[in-house]
Amino acid sequence: MKIFYSEEHRNHYPPFEVFDGGIRVPYYENPDRMDRILTELKKTDWAEFSAPEDFGLDPILAVHDRDYINFLASCWDEWLASDPEVASAPEKHAFLPATFALRRKARPTSSLRGRGGYYIMDLSACIVAGTYKAALASANCALSAANSSFSLHNSSFALCRPPGHHAGKDYAGGYCFINNAAVAANWLSQKGKTAILDIDYHGGNGTQDIFYERDDVFTISIHGDPDFEYPHYAGFADETGAGKGIGFHRNFPLPKDTDDSGYIAALDEALNDIQIFAPEFLVLSFGADTFDGDPLGLFHVTRDGFQKIGQRIAGLNLPTAVIMEGGYSNAALGENTRTLLENFK
C-alpha cells in the first residue's frame, strides 16, 4: 500500500492553542501524532512510503478562494513585520485574530487582523512560520494518494498533517487550513464519480461547505452531534445540500457515548447510500478521535471497532484514497491507524 508523507509538517508546530474560556494549552495537533503512526506502519511489510508530488496551486484553487490562499501564504511574514515583540521571539507566538467576522455581512479588510478574523474560524487554527508550506505539502500528499488510487486502481494513504476537513472555501478552522480531502476528491471527480466519507469524530463542515451545491461528489459525515460538539454550527441531519446538490450530502450526527455497535449501525446506512450513488472512487477522511478515551472526543469506539469499520468500508471494493484527519490519543493512534488501514492493503 502506498503511503504518501512529507516531513514538512514538522515546521507547523504552534506553541499553544486556546480552549473554551480562554485557557491556553499545548497544541494537540502536534508532530508526535505523525511519529506514532510512522512507527507503527514501519513495522508492517505492506507500507510503501513515498514523498508527495508537487501538483502546484491549480488543484487547490479549484476548491479554495484565491484571496484566502494568498492570506495563508503571507500571514506570518506580515505578522512579523507588524509587531516588534513577535519579531524578537517568534517561537513564542502564533497568529490568532481577536475579532471574528459575522459572515453574513462581513468582507475582508486590508488589515492583517481584519483578514485574520475573516479567514479564521476559531482559536485552534494557529498560524506560524511553517504553516503554509506544511499545508501545501499535506494537500500534495492527498493529491498524490488520489493520483495513485486512480492510476493503479487500488487504495492508498495520505498521512496528512495539518488535517483538512474543517477548512472551507475561504476559511481555516479546527487545525485545518487546506481541505486535503476536498482537493483530492475534486481532482478525482474529473476522472469519474467520487464520494467522500468522513469518519472523523468532528463534523466535516469544510467539506460540506465546498461540495454543498454540487451533484458530482456525494459527501457523507458521521460525527458527534453539533448540538454538543464542535464545530457546533454545521453537521445537522437536515443539511442535505442546496441547489443541484440537494440530496448529495448527508450528515449522521450521533449522541455522546456512541460505541462500536451504534457507530457501525450508522456506517452501514452510510455505505448503503454510497452504493446507491455508485461512485468510481472513494475519498475516506479518517479521524481516529472516535476512539474510546480520545481527549477531544466523547465516543467509545474500540480498536476492534476500527477493524470492523475498515473492513466494511474496504468491502465497497472501490479505489480509495484514505486521508488522515484527527486523532489525539497519541499512545493509541499508531495502532488504531494501522488496524483500519490493514483492510485496504
Q: Is 166 considered catalytic here? A: yes
| Distance (Å, whole) CA 287 – CA 94 | 25
Question: Within 13 Å and on the Cβ side, how many CA atoms surround 71?
Answer: 28
Q: Classify 164 as helix, strand or coil.
A: coil
Residue 243 DSSP label: G
Compute how many other C-beta atoms are within 10 angstroms of the C-beta atom of residue 338.
Answer: 21
ω into 90 cis (within 30 of 0) = no
Contact 199, 287 (CB under 8 A): yes
Strand partners for 172: 120
- DSSP for 265-287, written as a single string: HHHHHHHHHHHHH--SEEEEEE-
| Distance (Å, whole) CA 166 – CA 335 | 24
Catalytic residue among 165, 166, 202, 249: 166
The single-letter code of the amino acid at 141 is C
Strand partners for 49: 3
- Catalytic residue numbers? 166
